[in-house]
């Protein structure tokens, strides 16, 4: 059975130092683990969320479309990509928070230039490309590795 992934971004109404964010993570870990959902959440000081949800298709879609979209702690939810994946990129991770900077999200979500083709328009990252960038970003070690990557 394949894993279903959904990537979305939104804007937070929760201050980054708020106890409510810590409580949100704790309750999400319990719910996600019960539903077989893995998740990582990038959070910027200016209040942006970038989240990956992965797990059984119906569980992921129900969580996003019936719960997260209507959650008053954030707004302007936008699905970046969703679909099946042969592997779970964040297995064993029911919910982890990773601090990020606004420039990290800009780089992650920036269009991919088409090398040597001046007339072609840059394209957005495919879901597998974006997930791989997020896997690299969330690896233990220096999170600045994304910023150091040449354009």
pLDDT tens track, the chain, 151 positions:
589 999 999 998 877 666 877 888 899 999 999 999 999 999 998 889 999 999 999 999 999 999 999 999 899 999 999 999 988 999 998 999 898 999 999 888 888 877 766 667 777 888 888 898 899 888 876 444 333 333 3
φ, ψ of residue 31 in degrees (nearest 5): -65, -45
| Element housing 26 (H / E) | helix 19-35
Sheet holding 3-12, edge to edge: 74-85, 3-12, 48-55, 38-43, 96-99
pTM of the model: 0.83
d(CA 5, CA 61): 9
Q: Quick one: which of 17, 4, 10, 28 has its CA closest to 95?
A: 28
- Cα atoms in the 13 Å half-sphere on the side-chain side of 14: 18
């Amino acid at each position: 059975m394949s894993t279903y992934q959904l990537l979305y971004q939104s804007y937070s109404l929760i201050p980054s130092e708020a106890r409510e964010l810590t409580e949100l993570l704790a309750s999400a870990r319990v719910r996600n683990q019960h539903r077989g959902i893995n998740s990582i959440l990038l959070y910027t000081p200016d209040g942006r969320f970038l989240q990956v949800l992965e797990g059984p298709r119906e569980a992921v879609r129900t969580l996003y479309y019936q719960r997260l979209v209507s959650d008053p702690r954030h707004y302007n939810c936008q699905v970046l990509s969703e679909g099946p994946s042969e592997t779970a990129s964040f297995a064993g991770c029911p919910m982890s928070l990773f601090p990020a900077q606004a420039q990290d999200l800009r780089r992650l979500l920036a269009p991919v230039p088409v090398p040597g083709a001046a007339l072609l328009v840059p394209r957005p990252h495919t879901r597998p490309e974006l997930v791989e960038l997020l896997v690299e970003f969330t690896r233990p070690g220096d999170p600045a590795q994304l910023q150091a990557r040449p354009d």
